[in-house]
Amino acid sequence: MARIVMKFGGTSMAGIERIRHVASLVKREVEAGNELAVVVSAMAGETDRLVQLCREAASLYDPREYDVVVASGEQVTSGLLAITLQGMGLNARSYMGWQLPILTSGHTAGLIEGIDAAVLDRVFSEGGIAVIPGFQGVTEAGDVSTLGRGGSDTSAVALAAAMKADRCDIYTDVDGVYTTDPRIVPRARKLPVITYEEMLELASVGAKVLQTRSVGLAMRENMPLRVLSSFDDRPGTMVVADEALEEYNMERQLITGIAYDKNEAMVTLTGLPDKPGTVAGIFGPLAEASINVDMIVQSVPQPGSKSDLTFTVPAASLPQTRAVLEQVREKIGFDNFVTDTNVVKVSAVGVGMRSNAGVAAQMFEALAQRNINILAITTSEIKVSVLIAEEYTELAVRVLHSTYGLDQEAEA
Amino acid sequence: MARIVMKFGGTSMAGIERIRHVASLVKREVEAGNELAVVVSAMAGETDRLVQLCREAASLYDPREYDVVVASGEQVTSGLLAITLQGMGLNARSYMGWQLPILTSGHTAGLIEGIDAAVLDRVFSEGGIAVIPGFQGVTEAGDVSTLGRGGSDTSAVALAAAMKADRCDIYTDVDGVYTTDPRIVPRARKLPVITYEEMLELASVGAKVLQTRSVGLAMRENMPLRVLSSFDDRPGTMVVADEALEEYNMERQLITGIAYDKNEAMVTLTGLPDKPGTVAGIFGPLAEASINVDMIVQSVPQPGSKSDLTFTVPAASLPQTRAVLEQVREKIGFDNFVTDTNVVKVSAVGVGMRSNAGVAAQMFEALAQRNINILAITTSEIKVSVLIAEEYTELAVRVLHSTYGLDQEAEA
């Protein structure tokens, strides 16, 4: 017997037929003797519809009331799943975020501060199944709150930690985590196991299987995640701690996956004076405005001359970045503010990199052979990323996937 | 300054444009210096959609989970109205049924057992507007509950009583209560004032402007209601106690209105034995099955012979009525179970009837002159109803409207 959280995304909950299928997956786990909490998203498209209604109601909507409106999507699906499970003869009940309660730090993108698992312990002791709307909670003031888009994954992981679950199963519309995007590389392989850190790097660079926050939380709580499809029966991908890899008899790969992210924008400031404090005068105000600067390249100036500075920000932050820099323009003194959104960040990720030099060199070499120009570079302990022109996205991903030996063997 | 509950129905809340208009009506009352709680229905069609989802999920759905699902419609509109009001610079917040709380006796068609108005008093003392989802509450166990279809009117009246409001304004898609259905009688007049009892009789016989339960509650609480349209600025109809009529300078009319109800079915049992207990043996089991028997006609038998019994039930209860009577058929002993759904109940309603005999005679005379055959009759202190063939509905309503002098003067 295991204690498991099963989480189903919006595509899995889109309509009664699909909810019925989800119920059959839940039933299978019940019959295996497991204790279950089921976390559900709103039907696909519903949250977008509700957000749109809020925007139409007022351009600057109140977060408290926004949460009341958008939390309703998960309320509906959790009630419907409970009804469907009961219709199959199972003992299921829904519990809203305010009923458990799931306490959050605030509205709209609140953090989960605590979950009272007492209700769940009682439900399990009575042989019941708890159905919990994802994405929602309650503030200390007793108002409905939400966790920000994609928050249902985080709900599931936090709930799993609170109820000391053995595992958190994330059912989605893909059947696991792949070495790269299979639409670009048909020979991409599904990974049976991946570490939290690798998953975090892959998620943050564009492989959007799991919400980044939920993976970080799972890592802190050391909660094993399983990513699998609700639409087929294939095994999926386990996301575990580095130290747990051996349990899964996995040889540590040098590189686990190749990710890409087109939502970056490159900013170049030209004609910067070569004097102390210039760089701090630029990145200080950007940090204060919560603009996430990623890659930074500074040309080395000749003594006494001017230099250029290039960095990347999320494309969505570009207007704000421009506004912040225009405010400090006179103080800093630069000639031009040049932007380029036709760029892509391609990354190789793998915990094996730690004990193996030469990964970055291998990447630069492979890209150079295809005449792909590298605009910027950034590295972490388990990741090497390069910024290149967007038109080379597919070529670069395919070349790197092959370079690091990730291509699936051709079928015999 | 007055303390007012404003209630808006589903048609008034159907989409952001209409919600914006509702907000403008609320704003006008704020500017008049009034303290306001606003009760809202779900967008027109939304509750039907949610009920349908529950039905598809399981044919026998759990009332607790059904309530979780269907209560979401009002949650959405109350949040959206609060956002819209805030966008207009007003201090508005939504409070769910479980937040106030509005305590109900149970699920699906729960009765309101109590409303804590402390939150509202605080809101008003801070110059705020409370937006409350109609139709929903919370059970003593702390679960979301609903009041049954049309329950938002009842929410509004109960809330008005709890907060000691001066008046409860019901905004709907008609501009008041008419002497009869204007689609049948173009010269029907809008009534400036009507008593609770008259309204109850008119509602229960088919003039569906207000939910019957809400009128009964308003009568018990002596809460003045105002029925008016959210789509135009005409004055509407006040619903008040009999004793309050004078305040409105109203001459007491003999007859206030003519109503009709096509949802009746006529049942005739033939060949009943003329022995004690026969009638009790029929209506006892029907009452136990909660089947609402209205009109009853028994033919007077010759001594020792058999008789017929005719009565009406709501058409929707016909299958259940048949099932109940088949069970007691042998014990009672009757020849045939004959039904007729092509009937209509036409009623004349008016508190003036109490002090004036001859109203019924006038009705029978008028119908007889048109050769309309009366199948059954029932009367109360302020109502005379006849059952006739459905094909005479329009003719009978027009004749009676005219007979009692209700026709509007032709425009000069």
For B157-176, how does the pLDDT look when each residue is reduced to its tens digit (9 = 90+)?
999 999 999 999 999 988 89
**Residue showing tokens 């003392």:** B125
pLDDT at A373 over 80: yes
Please check whether residue A97 is in contact with residue A71, taking contact to mean a CB–CB distance below 8 angstroms. yes
Q: Is B239 annotated as a binding residue?
A: no
Partner B contacted by A125 (CB < 8 A): no
Q: Is B209 annotated as a binding residue?
A: yes
Query: CA A33, A7, A215: angle at the middle one, nearest 5?
Result: 115
Give the pLDDT confidence score for residue A410 in this predicted structure: 63
- Nearest CA among A377, A385, A201 for reference residue A296: A377
Give pLDDT tens digits for B47-75: 999 999 999 999 888 999 999 999 999 99
List the single range of A28-42, A174-188, B68-82 with lowest mean pLDDT. A174-188
Distance from CA of B314 to the nearest CA of A (A): 30
pLDDT at B337 over 60: yes
Chain B interface disruption, residue of A80, A86, A138, A145, most B CBs within 10 A:
A80
Cα distances from B137 to residues A78, B163, B171, in angstroms, run 18, 16, 21
pLDDT at A265 over 70: yes
**Residue showing tokens 């063997």:** A409
Tell me whether residue A317 is in a domain: no
Q: Which of residues 18-37 of A touch B (CB under 8 A)?
A: 19-20
Two tokens, residue A204: 């943050």
- Nearest CA among A95, A121, A90, A96 for reference residue A23: A90
8 Å CB contact of A50 and B78: no
Residues 6+ positions from A405 with CB-CB distance below 8 Å: A254, A255
Alpha-carbon distance B338 to A220, whole Å?
74
Residues B309, B162 within the same domain: no
Question: Into how many domains does chain B fold?
Answer: 2
8 Å CB contact of A75 and B78: no
Chain B residues whose CB is inside 8 A of the A82 CB are 62, 65, 68
| pTM (predicted TM-score) | 0.84
CATH of the domain at B58: 3.40.1160.10
Tell me whether residue A186 is in a domain: no
Tell me whether residue A310 is in a domain: no
User: What does the mean pLDDT of chain A come to?
Assistant: 92
pLDDT at B412 over 50: no
Alpha-carbon distance B43 to B59, whole Å?
25
Count the neighbouring beta carbons within 10 Å of the beta carbon of residue B88. Answer: 14
Give pLDDT tens digits for B104-114: 999 988 889 99
**Boundary-marking domain end, from B173, B200, B222:** B173
Q: Is B127 annotated as a binding residue?
A: no
Count the neighbouring beta carbons within 10 Å of the beta carbon of residue A266. Answer: 23
Strands A193-195 and A167-172: unpaired
8 Å CB contact of A72 and B75: yes
Give the pLDDT confidence score for residue B393 in this predicted structure: 96
Please check whether residue A160 is in contact with residue A168, taking contact to mean a CB–CB distance below 8 angstroms. yes
8 Å CB contact of A80 and B59: no
Tell me whether residue A130 is in a domain: yes
Chain A residues whose CB is inside 8 A of the B67 CB are 79
**Boundary-marking domain end, from B173, B197, B222:** B173
8 Å CB contact of B56 and A16: yes
Confidence category of residue A411, pLDDT binned at 50, 70, 90? low
pLDDT at A211 over 90: no
Partner B contacted by A118 (CB < 8 A): no
Give the pLDDT confidence score for residue A412 in this predicted structure: 45
Give pLDDT tens digits for A63-92: 999 999 999 999 999 999 999 999 999 999
Length of chain A as a residue count: 412
Two tokens, residue B134: 């109609």
Two tokens, residue B168: 């409860």
Tell me whether residue A75 is in a domain: yes
Three-class SS state of A257: strand
Alpha-carbon distance B259 to B397, whole Å?
8
pLDDT at B410 over 90: no
Alpha-carbon distance B82 to B94, whole Å?
6
Q: Is A209 annotated as a binding residue?
A: yes
**Boundary-marking domain end, from B126, B145, B173:** B173
Query: Given CA atoms A272, A274, A280, A281 in this order, what sign does their dihedral have?
Result: negative
Distance from CA of A153 to the nearest CA of B (A): 22
pLDDT at A185 over 70: yes
Q: Is B386 annotated as a binding residue?
A: no
Q: Is A10 annotated as a binding residue?
A: yes
Residues B168, B252 within the same domain: no
Chain A residues whose CB is inside 8 A of the B61 CB are 83, 86-87
Distance from CA of B211 to the nearest CA of A (A): 26
Burial A221-253 (b: 16+ CB within 10 A, else e): bebbbbbbbbeeeeebbbbbeeebbeeeebeeb
- Mapping DSSP onto H, E and C, the string for B159-188 reads HHHHCCCCEEEEEECCCCCECCCCCCCCCC
Specify whether the backbone of A202 is left (phi greater than 0), alpha (psi in -120 to 50) or beta.
alpha
- Nearest CA among B162, B109, B163 for reference residue B136: B109
Tell me whether residue A362 is in a domain: no
ipTM of the complex: 0.81
Residue B405 CA from chain centroid, whole number: 25
Burial B353-365 (b: 16+ CB within 10 A, else e): beeeeebbebbee
CATH of the domain at B273: 3.30.2130.10
Q: Is B172 annotated as a binding residue?
A: yes
Chain A residues whose CB is inside 8 A of the B144 CB are 96
8 Å CB contact of B69 and A62: no
- C-alpha R_g of chain A: 24
User: What does the mean pLDDT of chain B come to?
Assistant: 92
Start-end of H helices in A174-270: 196-204, 212-221
Give the pLDDT confidence score for residue B411 in this predicted structure: 53
| Facing B54 at nearest CB: one of A72, A78, A80 | A80
Please check whether residue A174 is in contact with residue A134, taking contact to mean a CB–CB distance below 8 angstroms. no
Domain enclosing residue A24, as ranges: 3-173
Question: DSSP readout, B266-324?
Answer: EEEEEEE--STTHHHHHHHHHHHTT-----EEEPPPPTTS-EEEEEEEEGGGHHHHHHH
pLDDT at A252 over 90: no
Q: Is B146 annotated as a binding residue?
A: no
pLDDT at B207 over 90: no
Cα distances from B156 to residues A72, A314, B8, B136, in angstroms, run 22, 49, 9, 11
Distance from CA of A157 to the nearest CA of B (A): 24
pLDDT at A302 over 80: no
Chain A residues whose CB is inside 8 A of the B143 CB are 99
pLDDT at B30 over 90: yes
Tell me whether residue A293 is in a domain: no
With pLDDT > 90 as the criterion, what percentage of chain B qualifies?
A: 73
Tell me whether residue B191 is in a domain: no
Q: Which residue of B has its CA nearest to A17?
A: B57
Chain B interface disruption, residue of A83, A107, A122, most B CBs within 10 A:
A83
8 Å CB contact of B75 and A80: no
Distance from CA of A104 to the nearest CA of B (A): 17
Confidence category of residue A304, pLDDT binned at 50, 70, 90? confident
